[in-house]
Amino acid sequence: MTDETNSTEASPEANGAPASETSAAATTSGADVPPDHLAINPRSPHFDAEKLQRGIGIRFKGTVRTNVEEYSISEGWIRVQAGKTLDRKGNPLTIKLNGPVEAWYEDLGENPPVAKKD
């Protein structure tokens, strides 16, 4: 009788939730990935200081990049500074590079969930 009690307590139905809902909730909360489009320029509509403070790693064409100004995973591009050249308003000139983009939060440690285009 002890074995039956333990197996019932371990099942998701015993907690009042169907198995499908329990596993879906765990997947959603476990998949902590950065947004599809993010920029470091505060004047950009894609700027989000809270997400940037967590630290975001970017892999572009298989290489980890640290000089990314803006990225879009779904559109497959990153924007990087073009040398030390500035425009007339003092902003860095950027170029857009196309290719596969992957992003992850660096504060999640080893093997974090990665956001990439399917």
Would you call 106 helix, strand, or coil by DSSP?
A: helix
Q: Is the pLDDT of residue 24 over 50?
A: no
Confidence tier at 30 by pLDDT (50, 70, 90): very low
Query: Which is nearest to 48 in space by CA: 35, 58, 59?
Result: 35
Give domain limits for the chain: 1-30, 33-116
What does the pLDDT read at residue 54?
Answer: 92
pTM of the model as a whole: 0.70
What is the rounded distance in angstroms from the CA atom of residue 97 to the CA atom of residue 79?
Answer: 6
- CA separation (Å) from 41 to 14, 58, 94, 106? 49, 16, 12, 20
The span from the CA of 11 to the CA of 25, in Å, is: 15
- For residue 11, pLDDT over 70 is answered with no
How confident is the model over 69-105, as pLDDT tens digits?
A: 999 999 999 999 999 999 999 989 999 999 999 999 9
